[in-house]
Homo-oligomer: A and B are copies of this chain.
Amino acid sequence: MSSDTIKVTFLPSGKAIKVSPGVSILESAIAAGLGVKGLCGGKGLCGKCRVKAHYGVEQKISLSELEHLSQEDLDDGMVLACQRKLIADALIEIEPEAINPHRKESLTDAHKLMPVKSAVTKRYLTLPPPSLEDQASDLERIMREVSNGNSLEIGIELLKHLPAILRRSSYRVTAVFLDKSLIGIEEQDTSRDTYGIAFDIGTTTVAGSLVDLNAGRIIATRGATNYQQIFGADVISRIDYSITHENGAGLLQKGAMAAMDEIITGLTRESGITERQIYEAVLVGNTTMIHLFMGLEASFLARSPFVPVFSRALNLSNKDFGLGIHPAGNIHIFPSIAGFVGADTVAVMLATDIQKQPGISLVVDIGTNGEIVLAGKDRILTCSTAAGPAFEGAKILYGMRAVNGAIEGISIDEDVHPDVIGGGSPKGICGSGLIDAVAEMLRVGILDSRGRIADREALIGQVDPKTLDRIQEGKQGREFVLNKSISSSTDKSVMITQKDIRELQLGKGAICAGIRILLGELGLTPREIDRVFLAGAFGNYIKRDSAISIGLFPEIEADRIHPVGNAAGVGASMALASIDVRERATELTRKAEHIELSCRKDFQEEFLNALYFPV
């Protein structure tokens, strides 16, 4: 633990993290994976991010706090989380009602106000009741007030309920249009209640953001386990399941929908919004997840030439899905670029505005597959590399996801100091921990550039004895033990094996080689990259210096690397709020040139070169 960090502990969860002095309470809460309510994106405008500061917080009361907090509040220690910086080890109490327990990332991004041009529009109408002098039909009575031209789509269910709604409301109704479709007639004036939900369907987790389509504002975000995991941990095993089991595709679809409905239930309960007021869902995710959600044949995604059923944006009716939103609502499926460069990557491209960034921009989204986007010289190149499961903790002997008990970081001085999520004894190591460990092992000389764990004897005098003792000969070759104290007999040993190192080399080599191939295509060197957007949860937790140390990125300076968190969810929310953004998404997919690396003879050579660690 370096001395330039402070420890901030949050009540009532007790979660503690280390941050640099000077970050705001809000930023630190986000970094801790805790949600704090707020609507303005940390600008001090909404006054919703009230927390109680017990100690460690700067004392200056801001103008915004004077506006939003009473004297009694201030006397009681209440502050606005976005307005106060942490100056020393701190204790912050988030009021129970302010906690969004499922909230993980990117609160700041999420709370931005987005440009609004919603596909959903509402019109409140006060209609004259029918008479013998005015026998217009129920539908025409509405439509003659609404100048939307002649073309109208309307579903049979709405027509069935129309007479009763009109008469019950004394002809005071709100018409709900989805593009040119009349999807709802609601009693009285509901024009303020227009919501949508943006889903990012991940292999492990599904995230959903509830968006106010009038304001262009994310109200709340939640996550849920993708229940498809029952049928397989990774995309390939799920595709297998969908093919080899009767109604396998149907079960996988239900697995994703269960997660989505759980999120909808949580978000509506939390916000007081009803499910029928959510008129649209925008879906992003990797191509397999989207196919499985839709109940589509995914087998051709898994074998060469890796062809999806569709790639363009689609608008489907919720009538065909039965998600817990408005029954006639729209399911907008994001466009994708290729079988392994999916809608989630397109959403990240939108959120990072990659097309309009000056110079050369790189997007890297690391998971089982690494999706890479290089934008510059008025071109956009994409590729996908089989990054391997190392970054997600799979195929690593003690690998695990970034949950409680996982080593997420390590520093080595006279001994090894693992940072364990949630504190306590480590149960395993997650992707960012693995990268950190390898970077440190390289630094102190335990690993050589070819990835071999050194012979213990050869390092005597060069490495501290406590650290040296951690090198063992195991059944699978050499191992390096990571536990806080290797002498403690109560602790289960958590170690990195020689084989684990090899897995990591394969993964990072594939990503680095993919980046080099795209750079070569534009005639660029790594040093010419102006910025790297590191997407996904992984990108938020990875230590940039460590990533560079192991050669995940080719010769790129750390300060050019920008973690963008849940950029896919943000991109999806932007598209939910504005049909112009959907247009841009389609433009991006048209402009993107996909490089299929399995076609490239030069990929093998780049890959072999990239297997080594930088010296």
Contact = CB atoms under 8 A, between A and B. Distances in A.
A158 to B, nearest CB: 10
Contacts of A135: 305-307, 338-339, 594, 596
Given A163-B297, A312-B143, A307 B137 contact: yes
A602 to B, nearest CB: 15
A144 to B, nearest CB: 10
A136 B312 contact: no
Interface stretch (A125-133, A268-276, A434-442): A125-133
Nearest to A287: B137
Interface in A281-330: 294-297, 299-300, 304-312, 314-316, 320-321
Q: Considering residues A143, A153, A163, which has the most beta carbons from chain B within 10 angstroms of its beta carbon?
A: A163
Given A154-B314, A294-B159, A320-B156, A132 B304 contact: yes
A84 to B, nearest CB: 49
A53 B220 CA distance: 83
A449 interface: no
A599 B133 contact: yes
A476 interface: no
Contacts of A596: 132-133, 135
A307 B139 contact: no
A295 B156 contact: yes
A169 to B, nearest CB: 15
Interface centre among A133, A135, A296 (most CB of B within 10 A): A135
A108 B306 CA distance: 57
Interface in A84-140: 130-140
Contacts of A295: 156, 160
Nearest to A598: B132
Contacts of A310: 137-140, 154, 159, 162
A164 interface: yes
Contacts of A320: 155-157
Contacts of A300: 138, 163
26 contacts: A130-B307, A131-B305, A132-B304, A132-B305, A132-B598, A132-B599, A135-B306, A135-B338, A135-B596, A136-B311, A138-B300, A138-B309, A138-B310, A139-B310, A140-B310, A143-B312, A152-B312, A154-B314, A155-B316, A156-B295, A156-B316, A156-B320, A156-B321, A159-B294, A163-B296, A163-B309
A-B CB proximity, top 5 nearest? A139-B310, A137-B311, A163-B297, A137-B308, A130-B307
